[in-house]
């Protein structure tokens, strides 16, 4: 199989990417390193000083390793080796999921936890080093069939990528009759705290030295915590079904008092953690359907990341899914040598990504349901099973994992994590792309007969 990381498309296209978050920057790198010219327009900074941690499971790390940034990620992050499940109200430790070295080796990459801002910086530097032109503080105002600069400037491209997140302005151009956003069922508060502060309190010290990465499970709510910044900081995201009051402050740049977060009853370790986080940021988890199509009718506008499948933030698979999108698009478009191939390659992206994302997001939905079960028979059964597996894991120590333990419950997660997006895109090319190219007779027709323009607010 040829090395896609060094393959540059014989035909260079101009791309405009709307949104310079994780999806936008990853896509900019993937397209630039495939030989294309890319401009990214980001309305703000794409990250925030207050933003917290993100998870990079092995399927995301596999791509980042192939992009040559594994060492940078490793330097800034912490390896996740286990996740412990704790009852939010009683503090009872009911289960542990070990991400053991041998399993991670089998999957091909480790599972890292990193600050959003540090991942953003690494991807920004990567995109710039590949030749992308990044324009921050430059919002795009979009309308069909073109998007136009607010100050009157018009920027042209062959293809526009909507990487502008869950409330994308590009998406309505791609998805006609898009279903409106439903009222959010979940608010996520996040906060960080220095590990040195945690060491001063016995309850918090026990989190650091004893538990590590607990998930506190409640009735319809959840708190997930991890180390950050090479283990110097600790972060937690607190999920609550309580909606953000209309007009109240929210967003990654807007800290609010942690008194705004109300849980019915929480155990002392979690209470201490919250008491030492005077402010938190809060965002609503977006309730919007996955896009039916990722490509518009003109086959020139494409969605990636949360613009296509609004589900984040703070979920387990979101960052890796977004990185996979970018990798697949980059590999497929590195094959471009004639304009007539564009629709086929873009639909190749959609054909690969839609079933994959359905699997990832359905699994995440099922996991969240399991983690936030209300009191009752199902929750009792869950806890009993986890306790049995935990006891078995403790008895086993470092010995080989046996069939039927907690890992089995999460077997689907491992299947999702073992996916190599770059290989999948290369396979698609071998099985479908080349065939389609031969069938259509390369060089004939289908040339893009115009350009798409983008309107951007602010100076370029
Ligand atoms: C500032 C910020 C901080 C975050 N911090 C965390 C965190 O700590 N933990 C976590 O789990 N998730 C965080 N997220 C969310 C996380 O990045 C996403 O859930 C996930 O990575 C999907 O990324 P995305 O690039 O598709 O969407 P997003 O991350 O939402 O990025 C979309 C980008 O598009 C930009 N944009 C939107 N509209 C326009 C427009 N009209 N013109 C130009 N640009 C536009 C936005 O400013 C944003 O930077 C954060 C997102 C942002 C924007």
pLDDT in tens, 241-292: 999 988 999 999 999 999 999 998 999 999 999 999 999 999 998 888 899 9
**How far away, in angstroms, is 44 Cα from ligand 1 center?**
10
Share of the chain above pLDDT 90, in %: 65
Pull the structure tokens for residue 283: 């965002």
pLDDT given at position 150: 64
Please answer whether residues 208 and 79 qualify as being in contact, where contact means their C-beta atoms are separated by less than 8 angstroms: no
Whether 390 has a pLDDT exceeding 90, the answer reads no
pLDDT given at position 139: 86
**How far away, in angstroms, is 92 Cα from ligand 1 center?**
35
Whether 404 has a pLDDT exceeding 70, the answer reads no
- Paired with 83 in beta bridges are 97
pLDDT given at position 439: 76
Whether 218 has a pLDDT exceeding 70, the answer reads yes
pLDDT given at position 213: 86
pLDDT given at position 444: 35
Please answer whether residues 275 and 132 qualify as being in contact, where contact means their C-beta atoms are separated by less than 8 angstroms: no
Buried-exposed string 447-456: b where 16+ CB fall within 10 A, e elsewhere: ebeeebbbbb
The pLDDT tens digits of the residues spanning 186-210 come to 999 999 999 999 999 999 999 999 8
The minimum-distance atom of ligand 1 relative to the CA of 138 is 43
Distances, alpha carbon 100 to alpha carbons 34, 79, 107, in Å: 35, 11, 11
User: If you take atom 53 of ligand 1, which residue's CA is the nearest one?
Assistant: 46
**How far away, in angstroms, is 121 Cα from ligand 1 center?**
13
Please answer whether residues 119 and 22 qualify as being in contact, where contact means their C-beta atoms are separated by less than 8 angstroms: yes
Average pLDDT over residues 21-33: 98
The DSSP symbol for 30 reads H
Average pLDDT over residues 18-44: 97
148 vs 164, higher pLDDT: 164
Average pLDDT over residues 81-102: 89
Buried-exposed string 246-262: b where 16+ CB fall within 10 A, e elsewhere: eeeebebeebbebebbe
Domains along the sequence of the chain with CATH: 7-51+63-73+116-179+289-361+426-455 (3.50.50.60)
Share of the chain above pLDDT 70, in %: 88
Report, in this order, helix, strand and coil percent for the chain, each rounded to 5.
Answer: 40, 20, 40
Q: How far apart are CA 323 and CA 415, in angstroms?
A: 17
User: If you take atom 12 of ligand 1, which residue's CA is the nearest one?
Assistant: 313
Which residues, judged by CB distance below 6 Å to any ligand atom, belong to the binding site of ligand 1? 18-24, 41-44, 46-48, 51-52, 54, 116, 139-140, 163-165, 169, 190, 252, 305-306, 312-314, 318-319, 322
């Amino acid at each position: 199989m040829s090395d896609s990381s060094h393959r540059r498309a014989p035909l260079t296209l101009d791309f405009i990417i709307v949104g310079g978050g994780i999806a936008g920057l990853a896509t900019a790198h993937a397209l630039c390193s495939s030989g294309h010219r890319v401009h990214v327009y980001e309305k703000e900074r794409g990250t925030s000083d207050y933003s917290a941690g993100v998870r990079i499971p092995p399927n995301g790390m596999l791509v980042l390793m192939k992009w040559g940034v594994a060492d940078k990620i490793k330097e800034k992050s912490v390896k996740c080796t286990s996740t412990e499940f704790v009852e939010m109200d009683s503090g009872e430790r009911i289960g542990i999921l070990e991400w053991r070295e041998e399993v991670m080796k089998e999957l091909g990459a480790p599972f890292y936890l990193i600050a959003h801002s540090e991942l953003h910086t690494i991807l920004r530097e990567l995109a710039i080093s590949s030749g992308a032109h990044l324009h921050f503080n430059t919002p795009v105002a979009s309308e069909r069939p073109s998007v136009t600069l607010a100050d009157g400037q018009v920027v042209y491209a062959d293809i526009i990528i909507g990487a502008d997140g869950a409330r994308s302005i590009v998406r309505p151009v791609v998805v006609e009759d898009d279903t409106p956003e439903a009222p959010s069922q979940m608010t996520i508060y996040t906060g960080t705290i220095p590990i040195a502060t945690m060491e001063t309190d016995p309850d918090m010290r026990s989190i650091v030295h004893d538990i590590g990465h607990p998930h506190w499970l409640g009735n319809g709510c959840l708190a997930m915590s991890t180390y950050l910044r090479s283990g110097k900081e600790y972060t937690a995201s607190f999920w609550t079904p309580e909606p953000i009051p209309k007009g109240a402050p929210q967003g990654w740049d807007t800290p609010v008092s942690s008194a705004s977060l109300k849980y019915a009853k929480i155990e002392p370790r979690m209470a201490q953690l919250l008491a030492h986080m005077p402010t938190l940021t809060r965002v609503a988890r977006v309730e919007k359907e996955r896009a039916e199509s990722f490509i518009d009718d003109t086959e020139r506008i494409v969605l990636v990341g949360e613009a296509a499948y609004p589900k984040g933030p703070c979920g387990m698979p979101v960052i890796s899914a977004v990185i996979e999108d970018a990798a697949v698009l980059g590999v497929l478009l590195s094959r471009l040598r004639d304009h007539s191939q564009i629709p086929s390659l873009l639909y190749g992206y959609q054909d690969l990504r839609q079933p994959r994302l359905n699997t990832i997001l359905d699994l995440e939905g099922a996991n969240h349901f399991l983690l936030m079960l209300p009191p009752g028979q199902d929750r009792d059964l869950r806890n009993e099973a986890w306790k049995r597996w935990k006891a078995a894991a403790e008895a086993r120590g470092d010995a080989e994992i046996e069939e039927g333990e907690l890992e089995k419950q999460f077997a689907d997660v491992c299947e999702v994590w073992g996916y190599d997006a770059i290989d999948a895109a290369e396979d698609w090319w071998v099985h479908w792309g080349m065939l389609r190219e031969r069938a259509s007779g390369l060089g004939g027709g289908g040339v893009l007969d115009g350009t798409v323009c983008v309107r951007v607010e602010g100076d370029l």
